[in-house]
A and B are shown apart, each in its own frame.
Chain A
Amino acid sequence: MSELGQLSGLPLALTFQAFTDIGFWTGVGVIAGTYALVALGLQLNVGFTGIVNFGQAGFMAVGAYTMAILVLKVGFSFWLALPAAVLAAMAFGLIVGLPSLRLRADYFAIATLAMAEIVRLTAQNARGLTGGNQGIFCEGASCYDDSWNSVSGTITGWLEGLGWSDPETLFPLLLVVWTTAALAAVLLHLAQGSPWGRVLRAIREDEDAARALGKNTLLYKLQSLAISALLGALAGFFVALNLATLHPKDFEPPGHVHRLRRAHTWWIGQLLGGGRGCDPDVDGSRSHAVRRAADLGRT
């Protein structure tokens, strides 16, 4: 490897030590699980409903920051702050979606991107509340992840009871992240097959046809966006617990776009793997749409 590095003149300082280190893979696993949650939200929006949401980073930031602020500044318990922050993110999703979901797909994409930027700029500039670029983590002796750390300690104790002498610090988080992601994936899969999921699919294929069948499409799209905001908020919590500090930089659109790309890799993977998704072309073919609409009429 180093020979190759010299040959091409690239500063390749690759060793394979990191790849056999379980600590490294635990960290990767936590990040992968967090991205999987984000991807599920985008899958629901872009894949199932056909609304091009570019603002998932904004929902993550709203969830994570609300949780941290409620714990540190308002004095909520961590366990009460979590559902409160989820509700805040969902409400934010509704506020954003209500005016912007009436727009055409391309306008909606740009509007959600601008929304995510406004959230990030607010996190950066409302220093009294969010700590600005310094980030938010502890207030005096208490930190927002205190309660989580005690839970994490308990899980570590169980792992030691199972015979693992020195478990990785992040391993409990890895377990929780992937349990959440798996649960969300199962629930979304069930939702996809439900009548509700069929309406979403009809909206993706031909919104006018869905509306003609008497479905309130805006309501369904709002629900889709709110659930995606919920998943985003959960992912935001895991970012917060993983890093133990929150910075506006963690919620920059470039990072988010990384996540979006991941979502699509995942989505396309699902299609190739025989998933029941159809042509990702948003324009949709007419005959397809009619068939879908007929499908819908039978429900």
Chain B
Amino acid sequence: MEAGTAAPSPRAGGVARVAQLGRRHPAAAALLVLAIAVVAMVAARSLHDVAQTGLNGLSLGSVYALGAVGLTLVYGTLRLVNFAHGDFLTFGVYMAYLVNVTWEAPLALGIVSAMAMTALLGVLFERTLWGPMRARRAGFLQLILISIGLAFVIRSGVQYVWGTEVRLLNVNVVDSVELLGLRIGQTELVVIVIGFAVLIATGLMLRYSLLGKRMRALADNFELAETAGIDTSRVVLHTWVLAGGLAGLAGVLAGAVTNVKPELGLELLLPIFAAVILGGIGDAFGALAGGMVLGLMIEWSTLFIEARWKVAVGFVVLILVLVVRPQGIFGRARAI
């Protein structure tokens, strides 16, 4: 929220120049606003506090960003608002729990299993549910309702097997690392490192690989991409693999820093939606940045308001963005 309110408005000329910059280089403008917000916060509080909450924000933001990329790509390619995406995260974290705690294997194996199994889940539903529904020309509302129902099926399935009790992954939650006077939990540091590595890899893949370009082409205009000779059904499958894998990873990372419970994904779903909309729905790079910005904003907001309200900050940001700039902070101007 700070990023929005801290925008400079000293002179009309300055505003116009910033607005012009915003049109030409929206990402640069967003960075500028963010930098100004950081400076303002450092002035109001202290550098140490801002950096400390910023670190927490990065770990939260990487979870949001990982979840948001998949959600936004699925929306972009299939025009499907997937309310079951949050429960993909839940499914992923329980797959990791199975390997990491029940079979006592290292967490790295748990992460691999979570990503693989959730990707498989995505493909399974595409083959048995979404593909046939598209073939029958299901409308937008029907697809949303199916995804809500699917969310219940996944969550209830998880509850049926593992019950509703709150569990912990086998990670070190005690030790912390000192970094330039900042304190960060060992697990949290690992989460940030893994999250960033995968996010950068995903970004590069989407930017430079042929598959990434095809995915973005489909998200941009499905019919045009098909006309251009892209094998759309293959790319759709790959999109589900990517979305599922990243959702599984996001679930494990969220479960590692907090705990494992059936509502884990449901509670993350709305902030992930907020990140998607912040970045412009259907825009993969926007979702990456939107997730990070949202995580930072939520954690920074605790400097000014009580921490128990911080979740609501995400939703306020969501509604503000929808009202002021529904195409997202990086999106091109177009009617929504």
Residues of A within 8 A of B (CB): 46, 52, 99-100, 103-107, 109-111, 113-115, 117-118, 121-122, 125, 254, 257, 260-261, 264, 280-283
Contact = CB atoms under 8 A, between A and B. Distances in A.
A118 B140 CA distance: 25
B243 interface: no
A81 B266 CA distance: 34
Chain B contact-residue range equals 20 to 34
A285 to B, nearest CB: 11
Given A106-B140, A114-B274, A121-B312, A261 B81 contact: no
Interface in B294-336: 306, 308-309, 311-312, 315-316, 318-319, 322-323, 326, 336
B270 A113 contact: yes
Contacts of B154: none
Given A110-B81, A281-B139, A282-B139, A254 B266 contact: yes
B141 A100 contact: no
Nearest to A52: B141
Is chain B's interface secondary structure helix, strand, loop, or mixed overall? helix
Contacts of B270: 113-114, 117
Given A99-B322, A115-B319, A264-B145, 9 more contacts: A99-B323, A100-B319, A109-B144, A114-B270, A114-B315, A118-B312, A118-B315, A254-B266, A260-B148
Contacts of B58: none
Nearest to A264: B145
Nearest to B152: A257
B273 interface: yes
Nearest to B138: A281
Contacts of B308: 125
B273 A110 contact: yes
Contact of B142 (A107, A110, A121, A281): A281
B312 A110 contact: no
Contacts of B319: 99-100, 111, 114-115, 118
Interface in B127-169: 139-142, 144-145, 148-149, 152
B192 interface: no
A55 to B, nearest CB: 11
Nearest to B323: A99
B322 A117 contact: no
B133 to A, nearest CB: 12
Contacts of A122: 312
Contact of B326 (A107, A115, A125, A264): A107
Given A104-B336, A117-B315, A125-B308, A111 B322 contact: yes
Given A104-B336, A114-B270, A122-B312, A282 B322 contact: no
A235 B118 CA distance: 39
Contact of A107 (B266, B277, B311, B312): B277
B323 A100 contact: yes
Nearest to B336: A104
B145 A283 contact: no
A111 B326 CA distance: 11
Contact of A103 (B149, B311, B326): B326
B161 to A, nearest CB: 13
Scoring B266, B311, B312, B336 by chain A CB atoms within 10 A of each residue's CB, the highest score goes to B312
B140 A282 contact: yes
Contacts of A103: 322, 326, 336
16 contacts: A52-B144, A99-B319, A99-B322, A99-B323, A103-B326, A106-B81, A106-B281, A107-B281, A109-B81, A114-B318, A114-B319, A125-B306, A257-B152, A261-B148, A280-B142, A283-B139
Contacts of A52: 141, 144
B311 A121 contact: yes
A96 B278 CA distance: 19
Nearest to B145: A264
B277 A110 contact: yes
Contacts of A100: 319, 322-323
Contacts of B277: 107, 110
Scoring A100, A107, A260 by chain B CB atoms within 10 A of each residue's CB, the highest score goes to A107
A115 B81 CA distance: 18
A104 to B, nearest CB: 5
Contacts of A264: 145
A111 B274 CA distance: 9
Question: What are the 10 A-B residue pairs with the smallest beta carbon separation, nearest first?
Answer: A281-B139, A114-B315, A99-B323, A121-B312, A114-B318, A282-B141, A118-B315, A125-B308, A106-B81, A111-B322
A100 B315 CA distance: 13
A125 B309 contact: yes
Contact of B141 (A46, A104, A118): A46
Contacts of A283: 139-140
B285 to A, nearest CB: 20
Nearest to A50: B141
A31 to B, nearest CB: 19
B322 A105 contact: no
Nearest to B311: A121
A132 to B, nearest CB: 9
Contacts of A260: 145, 148
A117 B317 CA distance: 13
Contacts of A46: 141
Nearest to A126: B309
A76 to B, nearest CB: 27
B148 A281 contact: no
B137 to A, nearest CB: 8
